[in-house]
């Protein structure tokens, strides 16, 4: 149980275009989902926390208008990178917390974004 | 504040060697502690966890003990295999917020 999927696993796009990444909890309801960004050989940087039906809470330094997060349902959150630039190229990982109040996050497999 | 300090890598070991990856933490409140493993090109997988002092988490031959007196959660394995080559992240969770260490890359050579 507690499986989280991400789609797509890899995406290559041109500079200036927008890319949407989906994060789904497959067998549980996720009241809270998290989006992380991982730079090469670095740790995970929390970008934002999203709760179903409300606006995401962004970490300091993360541009809200560039990284749009929508938590449309208890099983789906999306991250849209708008007007992507090469510096947005990174590995994006989502995680989800169950509605059972257990202090644990379940991670998706990640999405590799390359902006040309 | 809350933070995790992990030993820097990379670590290279021969197969069947003993592994220790050090992890210490600072936290307000009562954190849960975790080790995650990331294989190349993949996301994070939970390796083991401990939710209170003196708990020992274990999985796939890996162990870590929650030591409150030394604020540590060192990862150990008695005999590593080539398939253990990955990046290992120590993490703590408090008030539903996660804090990760910088990761330690492990390479096991035959």
B32 touches chain A (CB under 8 A): yes
CA B27 from chain centre, in angstroms, equals 16
For B90, which residue in chain A has the nearest alpha carbon?
Answer: A43
Q: What tokens does A107 get? A: 């991670």
d(CA A35, CA B8): 25
Q: Is the pLDDT of residue B105 over 70?
A: yes
Average pLDDT over residues A60-87: 93
**In degrees, to the nearest 5, what angle opens at C-alpha A92 toward C-alphas A87 and A95?**
155
Helices (H), A8-115: none
Dihedral sign (CA B96, B22, A47, A22): negative
Q: What tokens does A16 get? A: 């200036």
How many Cβ pairs closer than 8 A exist between chain A and B?
A: 45
The answer to whether A46 contacts B98, with C-beta atoms less than 8 Å apart, is yes
Question: Do the beta carbons of residue A96 and residue B96 sit within 8 Å?
Answer: no
Q: What tokens does B51 get? A: 């939710």
Q: What tokens does A104 get? A: 């644990």
Q: What is the pLDDT of residues A93-103, one digit of tens each?
A: 999 987 665 56
Q: What is the pLDDT of residues B83-104, one digit of tens each?
A: 999 999 999 988 778 889 989 9
Q: What is the pLDDT of residue A100?
A: 66
Q: What is the pLDDT of residue A85?
A: 95
Q: Is the pLDDT of residue A58 over 70?
A: yes
Whole-number average pLDDT of chain B: 93
Q: Is the pLDDT of residue B78 over 80?
A: yes
Q: What is the pLDDT of residues B33-43, one digit of tens each?
A: 999 999 987 88
Question: Do the beta carbons of residue A82 and residue A65 sit within 8 Å?
Answer: yes
In angstroms, the separation between the Cα of residue B92 and the nearest Cα of chain A is: 10
In angstroms, the separation between the Cα of residue B100 and the nearest Cα of chain A is: 7
pLDDT band at residue B5, thresholds of 50, 70 and 90? very high
Dihedral sign (CA B62, A111, A73, A75): negative
A112 touches chain B (CB under 8 A): yes
For B47, which residue in chain A has the nearest alpha carbon?
Answer: A106
B25 touches chain A (CB under 8 A): no
């Amino acid at each position: 149980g507690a499986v989280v999927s991400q789609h797509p696993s890899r995406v290559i796009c041109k500079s200036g275009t927008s890319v949407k990444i989906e994060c789904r909890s497959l067998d549980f309801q996720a009241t809270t989902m998290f989006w992380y960004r991982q730079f090469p050989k670095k740790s995970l940087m929390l970008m934002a926390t999203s709760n179903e039906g409300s606006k995401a809470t962004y970490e300091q330094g993360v541009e809200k208008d560039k990284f749009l997060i929508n938590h449309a349902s208890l099983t789906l959150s999306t991250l849209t990178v708008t007007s992507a630039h090469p510096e947005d190229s990174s590995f994006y990982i989502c995680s989800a917390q169950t509605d059972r109040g257990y202090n644990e996050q379940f991670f998706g497999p990640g999405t590799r974004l390359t902006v040309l | 504040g809350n933070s995790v300090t992990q030993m820097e890598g990379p670590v290279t070991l021969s197969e069947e060697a003993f592994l220790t990856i050090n992890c210490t933490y600072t936290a307000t409140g009562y954190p849960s502690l975790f080790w995650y493993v990331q294989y190349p090109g993949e996301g994070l997988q939970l390796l083991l966890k401990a939710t209170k002092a003196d708990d020992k988490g274990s999985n796939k031959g890996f162990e870590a003990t929650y030591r409150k007196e030394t604020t540590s959660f060192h990862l150990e394995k008695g005999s590593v295999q080539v398939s253990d080559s990955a990046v290992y992240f120590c993490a703590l969770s408090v008030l539903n917020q996660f804090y990760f260490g910088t990761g330690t890359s492990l390479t096991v050579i035959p």
